[in-house]
Amino acid sequence: MTTARRTASLRRLPVLTVLGWFGVVFAVLAILVVAAAVIIAQLLAQGRTASSDLQGGILPAQAQAYRLQGALLDQETGVRGFGITGKPDFLQPYTAGLATEAAAAAQLRSLIGRNKQLSADLSNLEQAANAWRRSYALPLIALARRGPLNGKDLSLLDRSKQSFDHLRTLFAVQNVHLATAAARDSASVRRTRSANNWAFILILAAFLLAAAALTLVLHRAVVRPLNRLRAASRRVVGGDFGHHIEATGPADLRAVAADVEAMRSELVTALDDSRSAQEIAASQAADLDAQAAELLRSNAELEQFAYVASHDLQEPLRKVASFCQLLEKRYGDRLDDRGRQYIDFAVDGAKRLQILINDLLTISRVGRANEVRVQLPLDEVLDVAIAAVGTAVEESGAVIERPEHLPEVMGDATLLAMLWQNLLGNGIKFRSPDRAPVVRVTVAEPPGGMWQFCVEDNGIGIPPEFAEKVFVIFQRLHGRDAYPGTGIGLALCKRIVEHHGGEISLDAAYAEGTRVCFTLPRMDPAKPDQAGENSDISRTSASSTEGIPA
């Protein structure tokens, strides 16, 4: 049978669910069980009836018939003995036989019930027995009570024997009829048993055929569509995404197949979109690689330009400053106050321009590719920064409060020392004139895998509206006369923190001065230390941070 024909044959079957098909199977089996139970009950009832007729009727009737016949024989024997001898003892079998006959006849009549033939045999036998007793037994007994019989009385005894032979004939007839009835009931019992056996065989065969038929139906209606769906799904999983999954079988299995087919279609669409996106991404990646190479080249050129420009610019500035100072030294006595003021302006401008150039070089060095990040204990880095601002601490009488222990992070020792030095220096420089400066360093561990560090002071503070402006390069909130500097310190701090993967901000809610907070990533404890790259904090001395603008 071809696949199309098999599919058509499946479609001709009723559209049921898997549970519905199993319900049909169980319903058919239940009907077969009920029918088999009814047939078996009827057969057993027939068998019990036949067995009851035989064992509870004919066989006991035969026994009572033999008992009845024996009682009549005892009566004939007792009459004969009593008649010959005249002794009363010989009459006892006759007397006992009468009682036995009456009892056996009553039981026999109840056993044969409505059997006309057996009832007629019993009636004939009772009539003949009564006739024998009236005609012979009782007269003989009356004669024998006078004495033993002799003469013509003996001829009466012979006629009694001949009359009793008729009873014997009736005995034989009754026995024949009882035997015939027993044989008939025995045959009925055997037929019933044979019918029961055949019925059991047929029922077993019917169950086997029904089971085979139901198994075939379930295989065609449920198992085969399920196997087809599984094979199609495995084919799609194997990479044949274009293979169509056909919905066949029970209703719920068709729904599953339809859902799987819809999912396959969506996956095919998503795969096509992914391939298109991958092609676009590959093209964009190539463009980005080209742009990255161009940026590397441009950065190298800019770095070289910055290095050359710094040296080339600083040399004329140094000459300007030197010659202006020489001019003031040699011709100072000839210049008036306005001339000396002009010379001071020129020298101050040259020095400030030199500081600006150094600051620009410093901020441009942050994020260079040749920097080495190692595991750093921030306690030692903070020690270096505190030593660098030691002069300012002594001059101002500042107090620096710090935690007993700071964590270790991955970073560049020189850059982090610059960070601490700028923040501590700002806390000292922008102090309040009416109190000694106090700079406090705190550390916290908020959720999110970051360390949070804060540097707070009791200085003049920063208005909230300038919370973002202070991190912009060359942005100043005060004149140079009030507070020296170029306005690059916090911009440098921001670049260092972001270069290490953190964030820096001004706490605008802090009202007792200025509070600057920044975050640094916590180290992964599962990541091994980089052997041979431990930083030597002692190499980061105050000389390495001298001249860094605050």
pLDDT at site 150: 73
Residue 365, Cβ neighbours under 10 Å: how many?
Answer: 17
Q: Are 278 and 48 in contact (CB under 8 A)?
A: no
pLDDT at site 300: 64
Q: Which residues contact 131 (CB under 8 A, 6 or more apart)?
A: 163
pLDDT at site 203: 87
DSSP state of 126: H
Ranges of each domain in the chain: 3-232, 250-365, 372-545
Give pTM, 2 decimals. Answer: 0.40
Comparison of pLDDT for 543 and 313, the residue scoring more: 313
Comparison of pLDDT for 228 and 455, the residue scoring more: 455
Helices 489-499 and 337-365 meet at what angle, rounded to 10?
10
Give me the residue label for tokens 């696949």. 3
Cα 5 to Cα 24: distance, rounded to the nearest angstrom: 24
* pLDDT value at 310 more than 70: no
CATH superfamily of 372-545: Histidine kinase-like ATPase, C-terminal domain (3.30.565.10)
| pLDDT band of 543, cuts 50, 70, 90 | very low
* Per-residue model confidence as pLDDT tens digits over 214-259: 788 777 777 888 787 788 788 778 877 777 777 777 777 778 778 8
* Per-residue model confidence as pLDDT tens digits over 22-66: 787 778 878 988 888 888 887 777 667 666 666 667 888 888 888
pLDDT at site 171: 86
What is the second-level CATH architecture of the domain 3-232?
A: Up-down Bundle (1.20)
Nearest of 380, 440, 439 to residue 408 by alpha carbon: 380
In this structure, the strands spanning 374-377 and 408-411 are: antiparallel
**Phi and psi at residue 119, to the nearest 5°:** -65, -40
In the predicted model, what is the mean pLDDT of the chain? Answer: 76
Q: Measured in Å, how far apart are the chain's first and last C-alpha atoms?
A: 92
pLDDT at site 441: 92
In this structure, the strands spanning 438-444 and 399-401 are: parallel
Comparison of pLDDT for 70 and 322, the residue scoring more: 70
Cα 518 to Cα 455: distance, rounded to the nearest angstrom: 9
Q: Are 306 and 360 in contact (CB under 8 A)?
A: yes
* pLDDT value at 14 more than 80: no
417: which 2 tokens? 């020392």
pLDDT at site 78: 85
* pLDDT value at 95 more than 90: no
Cα 265 to Cα 483: distance, rounded to the nearest angstrom: 70
The CATH code of the domain at 250-365 is 1.10.287
Q: Is 151 helix (H, G, I), strand (E, B) or coil?
A: coil
46: which 2 tokens? 């027939």
Which whole number is the average pLDDT over 451-464?
A: 85
Q: Are 523 and 449 in contact (CB under 8 A)?
A: no
pLDDT at site 517: 92
Cα 232 to Cα 252: distance, rounded to the nearest angstrom: 17
pLDDT at site 547: 36
* pLDDT value at 454 more than 90: yes
* pLDDT value at 286 more than 50: yes
**Phi and psi at residue 121, to the nearest 5°:** -60, -40
| pLDDT band of 126, cuts 50, 70, 90 | confident
Cα 404 to Cα 269: distance, rounded to the nearest angstrom: 60
* Per-residue model confidence as pLDDT tens digits over 151-170: 666 777 788 888 888 888 88
Which whole number is the average pLDDT over 269-295?
A: 82
Burial class (CB in 10 A: 0-12, 13-18, 19+), 266: exposed
Comparison of pLDDT for 17 and 301, the residue scoring more: 17
